[in-house]
């Protein structure tokens, strides 16, 4: 009997992380999911279980290497092996560059860049030691590709994710490890919908910039994650897939 594929999705309480975990469960993976507070994962765990997959909630603070090491050990203890890592945990920042503080810089870079690197490093070590290869998919952003006002630090962190993707893909290709990223455009999550409700003019301005004239959904981003993590994408590595309704086509 062939062992089920296994996946680990960070930052999976809601939005793209939760949707990615459910998409992978639907694709035949048992899925570990993480948050700072595991209780926040209850809804995601229930959805994964309902899809017929095993769900393992773990505590993870991606700002801490020791926390990353503990979380990876917990996942491997539960599953025995790991095939897919999805680096979704991230934090936003909207602030004019001239006003960004050192504390804000550290908060964004520690989660969005440092956390992605060291979680990927732990996954890479496991896959190299196991000798069976696997896939890493990180969540980048269109802000890492094009410029926009007031999102400089966030954009810098996400541009770093795309460059990290290329670098790790080259280093680990000989081990059968594929490293890719998905760069979403605007996704109207519950939190963002609340922001737009208070500023409908801003919402319309942003939609008018998108050739498809709508925002994306978490499920559409998750479909891209699922594809890049699957055997169907076996010849794809080092790429950042833009899922943005055509925003970056201009």
Angle at 83 between CA 79 and CA 88, to 5 degrees: 100
Catalytic, 154? Answer: yes
Closest CA to 85 of 196, 228, 207, 192: 228
* Marked catalytic residue, from 14, 154, 235, 250: 154
Residues with Cβ within 8 Å of residue 17, at least 6 apart in sequence: 9, 10, 11, 33, 44, 86, 88, 89
Which residue from 86, 56, 85, 59 is spatially nearest to 71, judged by alpha carbons?
59
**What strands lie across the sheet with 240-243, from one edge to the other?**
55-59, 29-35, 5-9, 84-87, 134-139, 177-184, 240-243
Kindly write down the DSSP assignment for every residue of 28-43, as one continuous string.
TEEEEEEESSGGGGHH
Tokens 């503080």 found at? 101
Report whether 93 contacts 108 (CB < 8 A).
Answer: yes
Q: Based on C-alpha coordinates, what's the Rg of the chain? A: 17
Residues with catalytic function: 154
């Amino acid at each position: 009997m062939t062992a089920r594929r296994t996946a680990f999705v960070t930052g999976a309480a809601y939005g793209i992380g939760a949707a990615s975990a459910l998409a992978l469960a639907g694709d035949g993976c048992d899925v570990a999911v993480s948050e700072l507070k595991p209780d926040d994962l209850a809804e995601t765990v229930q959805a994964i279980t309902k899809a017929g997959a095993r769900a393992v909630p773990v505590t993870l603070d991606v700002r801490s290497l020791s926390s990353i090491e503990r979380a990876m050990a917990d996942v491997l203890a539960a599953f025995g092996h790991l095939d897919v890592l999805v680096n979704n945990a991230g934090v936003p920042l909207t602030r004019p560059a001239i006003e960004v503080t050192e504390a804000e810089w550290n908060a964004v870079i520690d989660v969005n860049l440092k956390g992605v690197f060291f979680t990927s490093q732990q996954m890479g070590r496991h896959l190299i030691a196991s000798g069976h290869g696997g896939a890493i998919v990180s969540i980048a952003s269109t802000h890492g590709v094009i410029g926009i006002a007031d999102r400089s630090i966030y954009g810098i962190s996400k541009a770093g994710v795309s460059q990290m993707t290329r670098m790790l893909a080259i280093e680990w290709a000989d081990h059968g490890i594929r490293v890719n990223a998905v760069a979403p455009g605007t996704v109207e999550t519950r939190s963002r919908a609340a922001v737009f409700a208070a500023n409908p003019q801003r919402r319309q301005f942003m939609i008018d910039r998108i050739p498809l004239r709508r925002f994306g959904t978490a499920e559409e981003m998750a479909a891209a994650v699922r594809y890049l993590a699957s055997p169907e994408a076996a010849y794809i590595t080092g790429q950042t897939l833009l899922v943005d309704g055509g925003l970056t086509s201009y």
